[in-house]
Amino acid sequence: MKDFFSTIKFKLLAGLVVVLAGMMAYAGANNRLTAAPQELLGAVMVPLQRISAALSGGVSQLVDKYARLDAIIAENEALKEENAALRNQLVDYDRVRQENESFQSRYNIEQSHPEYTYASGFVIGRDPLEQFFGFTIDKGTRDEVERGDIVVSDQGYLVGRVIEANFSSAKVLTILSPSLNAAGVVSRTRDNGILTGDSAYAPEGVCLFTNLSRDTLATVGDQVITTGLGGVFPPDILVGTIRELVPESSGKSTMAVIQPGVEIETLTHVFVITSYDGEAAPEPDAAADAQPESAAPDAASQPGSGAQDTDAAGQDAAQPAG
């Protein structure tokens, strides 16, 4: 029994009795003895009620969220479909906008050169290993695009030449390539030269204008255009401006570094000149015209050639002698 009075439980119980006795004495002194139990109960129950309300609200919200889960998933799927449709509309809009811009550009260059017939083409492919920035367009033989056709930018600057034409696409060789050669002239001084590309200059997006005279009067900023010599390239096609004049290694002529009028490596749209006044005959015809010249040396080996006629004459002359 003595041990009980020394325990913590007894001390807590004694403390509780003292507190209750103090509260009752205070209530009796203030005439609130009858309301003390209610106030004590209220002091205990109010926090419990708040906790119960919070738990009830949280459970209610959780149940509501789970109940709406199917609706949220369906709404999310609908939003995804709407987003995809809007993206497709945006792609269509961009395509229509580009086509409208190309129509305006076509109108402008047709006003400058009404004698040309054009086909509008978008760049659809580039070879990352092509150091001269050649590309493929979405126009081909069905659009009257043929091998050898000249390609220009929306502003009418020379871009290159078609080197391969399929039914629905064509490959373009640019003016940055050394495989392309075109006769040109400095518009201000009328100095003639050859427009071509060079592997050392292609990464900078520039080409060369070679065979200028050593004492040329051309200067930086002068415009270079095509001459139409040979009928391969149309005349008066803008190429670009002289960026630098460099003496050639032979010392007998000068070379001009040309800044093209358009950035070849970033082109997205071009025009193909499918026909023009003064156009040269197609390349296969040119090869056919050259065939008689190459066949001339074979004439001596054909039946009836002079060598065989001489042999026959010798045999005829030997028969009487026999």
- Pick the closest to residue 27 from 17, 35, 18 (CA basis): 35
The structure tokens 């296969």 sit at 284
Q: What is the mean pLDDT of the chain?
A: 78
DSSP classification of residue 254: E
What is the per-residue pLDDT for 313?
Answer: 37
Mean pLDDT across the stretch 146-159? 95
pLDDT score of 234 more than 50? yes
- For β-strands 158-165 and 117-126, DSSP reports them as unpaired
pLDDT: which is higher, 260 or 25? 260
Q: Does the CA dihedral 111-115-121-125 come out positive or negative?
A: negative
Mean pLDDT across the stretch 257-271? 95
State the pLDDT confidence band at 277, using cuts at 50, 70 and 90. Answer: confident
Q: What is the pLDDT of residues 160-216, one digit of tens each?
A: 999 999 999 999 999 999 999 999 999 999 999 999 999 999 999 999 999 999 899
Say which residues have a Cβ less than 8 Å from residue 221's Cβ, sequence separation at least 6: 241, 242
Distance of alpha carbon 244 from its chain centroid, rounded?
30
pLDDT score of 244 more than 70? yes
Mean pLDDT across the stretch 90-100? 68
Lowest mean pLDDT among 59-68, 217-226, 261-270: 59-68
Inter-residue contact 136 to 153 (CB < 8 Å): no
pLDDT score of 111 more than 90? no
As a dihedral over the C-alpha atoms of residue 225, residue 226, residue 227, residue 228, rounded to 10 degrees, the angle is -150
Q: Which of 36-40, 266-270, 310-314 shows the highest mean pLDDT?
A: 266-270
State the pLDDT confidence band at 140, using cuts at 50, 70 and 90. Answer: very high
- Pick the closest to residue 94 from 275, 225, 274, 268 (CA basis): 268
Query: What percentage of the chain carries pLDDT values higher than 90?
Result: 43
What is the per-residue pLDDT for 315?
Answer: 39
Mean pLDDT across the stretch 212-233? 93
Lowest mean pLDDT among 65-74, 191-200, 251-260: 65-74
What is the per-residue pLDDT for 316?
Answer: 41
Mean pLDDT across the stretch 273-297? 53
State the pLDDT confidence band at 285, using cuts at 50, 70 and 90. Answer: very low
CA distance 193 to 245: 13
- Pick the closest to residue 234 from 273, 269, 290 (CA basis): 273
State the pLDDT confidence band at 87, using cuts at 50, 70 and 90. Answer: confident
pTM for the complete prediction?
A: 0.59
pLDDT: which is higher, 147 or 60? 147
Superfamily of domain 117-275: Rod shape-determining protein MreC, domain 2 (2.40.10.350)
State the pLDDT confidence band at 11, using cuts at 50, 70 and 90. Answer: confident
pLDDT score of 300 more than 50? no
Q: DSSP H helical segments within the chain, as ranges?
A: 2-5, 8-29, 36-67, 69-112, 283-295, 306-321
State the pLDDT confidence band at 86, using cuts at 50, 70 and 90. Answer: confident
Q: Where are the domains of the chain?
A: 9-63, 117-275
- Pick the closest to residue 152 from 130, 133, 174, 125 (CA basis): 174
- Pick the closest to residue 134 from 273, 262, 238, 267 (CA basis): 267
State the pLDDT confidence band at 307, using cuts at 50, 70 and 90. Answer: very low
Q: Does the CA dihedral 233-235-238-241 come out positive or negative?
A: positive
What is the per-residue pLDDT for 30?
Answer: 65
CA distance 234 to 179: 18
CA distance 28 to 7: 32
CA distance 298 to 292: 10
DSSP classification of residue 280: P
CA distance 283 to 131: 26
Q: Which of 51-55, 65-69, 264-268, 274-278 shows the highest mean pLDDT?
A: 264-268
